[in-house]
């Protein structure tokens, strides 16, 4: 990689740093509370494979991410959410 390329690369990367500041959905809307029984809402915070998405991706604040992970784990235990997509029931 030439020096030029490297510089071009960092320029691109730098631009990506200035992303729109994400706000936590649960802080923004106080009525929205995290409930392990609400699988529909929790699905926004897991990947296609069923893995919990990082707060960096979803923009959830640290405090709500903590309660979100517990909620997702409760939901998995109760078979409301899958542990992994490979166990998901097909129609």
Residues lying near other proteins in the complex (CB under 8 A) are found at: 19-20, 22, 25, 29, 31-32, 36-37, 39, 41, 44-45, 53, 57-59, 74, 76-83, 87-89
Q: Shortest Cβ distance from residue 80 to Zn ion (Å)?
A: 22
Q: Applying CB under 5 A, does 64 fall inside the site for Zn ion?
A: yes
Contact status, residue 36 vs residue 79, Cβ threshold 8 Å: no
27 binds, among Zn ion, other proteins, none (CB under 5 to 8 A by kind): Zn ion
Residue closer to Zn ion by CB (options 57, 79) is: 57
């Amino acid at each position: 990689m030439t020096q030029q390329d490297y510089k071009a690369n960092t320029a691109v990367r730098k631009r990506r740093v200035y992303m729109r500041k994400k706000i936590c959905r649960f802080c923004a809307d106080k009525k929205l509370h995290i409930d392990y029984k609400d699988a529909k809402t929790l699905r926004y915070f897991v990947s296609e494979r069923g893995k919990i998405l990082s707060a960096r991706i979803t923009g959830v604040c640290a405090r709500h991410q903590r309660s979100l992970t517990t909620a997702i784990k409760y939901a998995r235990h109760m078979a409301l959410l899958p542990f992994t997509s490979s166990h998901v029931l097909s129609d």
